[in-house]
Amino acid sequence: MTIAALAHPAVTVLMAVYNGEAFLREAVESILTQTFKDFELLVIDDGSTDGSADIVASFVDPRVLLVRNGKNLGLIATLNRGIELARGAYIVRMDCDDVSLPERLQRQVDFMEAHPEVGVCGVWYLEFGERVRRTTRCACDHDSIRCGTLFNPVVGHPTVILRKRLLEEHGLRYDADFGHAEDFRLWAEALRYCRFANIPEVLLHYRLHPGQVTSVHAQQQMESSGRVRRDLLRELGIDPTPEEFEVHQLLSALTRPVHFPIQNLPVPEQLARIDAWLCKLKRANDARGIYPEPQFSRMLVERWVGVCVVNFLARGILSPGLFTAPELFRHTGSAWRYAFAFISHRIRTALRDSLIS
């Protein structure tokens, strides 16, 4: 089917595929069974050598559009090509190994129609795989998302809906210089022009398996993400030392299997470095007013609490550091009270998810 044969849909669901036959049929079917019907499913096969293209071609639904790259261009070039070809006012990302719940498109389109100031909207999602089943509950309000982006993207890439007009007006595209962190770079740029949101409802199942980018290219992803973080730190007026940036990277990887030398230090010295760095971020933001308060202070406390939670899960003990970080808590004012409720919630959630898996 040619592009010209399709009318202008409200939504373009953009899916890039490279040798994804294992889970592709299930992913496509999850889109075709959506309660929202006014969409095209634009599948770009990036030079697959397996049966991916044949699987897509086997669907007779007129909303399925298969485009083939003449050669393997890579994910970033393929996604940018998809943006150019997309005919919908909204672009919805979908990976070829995930599953969208039936109400996903309807919920996201309804939200965007009701909130014209929002340019990018994600959803909560369930991560599943062999012996793993946990829910990722991202921050939902714009200010918290923006603050959290100093460390990590706070919207799940395969969960988003975007306004194509936002991308066109500001020339926003995935940047090939940030391989395996292209979404993080795009969100950092888009935050300059629009508001972000997440819908607090699980509307996508995110499959975990050994062949995905986060497993195969974890170190390169961390390095590319680090360059995004350095740019954001410079906006705060901070040019971190190697030791400080090591701490920042550690705080950005609390849930990832990446190892840093700081983890080999005695716990008191680790906590002292982390405390000093978080206080430096707080003082820099107080001076420049880049990020909103109290969301920024709460985000810093959450990072501190994250260290304690990881320590608790790894060692079976609750780190006394939560209660002995007077410098951070002094700078964040009443935010320390928030920490006690937050750490209790995080530990309960982590324990529940571990029991489920």
pLDDT band at 155 (very low <50, low <70, confident <90, very high): very high
Average pLDDT (316-320) is 49
Here the tokens at position 274 are: 């982390």
Predicted pLDDT of residue 36? 97
Instruction: Specify the pLDDT at position 327.
Output: 61
Residue 192 has pLDDT above 60, yes or no: yes
Structural domains of the chain, ranges and CATH numbers in brackets:
3-214 (3.90.550.10), 236-356 (no CATH)
Confidence category of residue 23, pLDDT binned at 50, 70, 90: very high
pLDDT band at 317 (very low <50, low <70, confident <90, very high): very low
Average pLDDT for the chain: 84
3-state secondary structure of 357: coil
pLDDT at 5: 43
Residues 262-288 have a mean pLDDT of 80
For Cα atoms 299, 200, 344, give the angle at the middle one, nearest 5 degrees.
Answer: 50
pLDDT of residue 307: 73
Report whether pLDDT(298) > 60. yes
Cα separation, 103 vs 115, whole angstroms = 18
Model pLDDT, residue 328:
59
Alpha carbons 333 and 338: distance in angstroms, whole number: 10
Give 211-270 pLDDT, tens digit per residue.
Answer: 655 545 778 888 999 999 999 999 999 999 999 999 999 888 865 444 445 555 556 677
For residue 274, the model assigns a pLDDT of 85
**Interval 316-343 mean pLDDT:** 51
pLDDT above 90 covers what percent of the chain? 63
* Residue-level length of the chain: 357
- C-alpha–C-alpha distance, residues 45 and 26, integer Å: 16
Q: What is the pLDDT of residue 2?
A: 40
- Please answer whether residues 137 and 213 qualify as being in contact, where contact means their C-beta atoms are separated by less than 8 angstroms: no
The residue that leads in pLDDT, 87 or 210, is 87
Counting residues of the chain whose pLDDT is more than 70, the rounded percentage is 78
**CA-CA distances (angstroms) from residue 11 to 63, 71, 120?**
11, 27, 14
How many whole angstroms separate alpha carbon 10 and alpha carbon 71? 30
End-to-end CA distance of the chain: 43
Say what the pLDDT of residue 133 is: 81
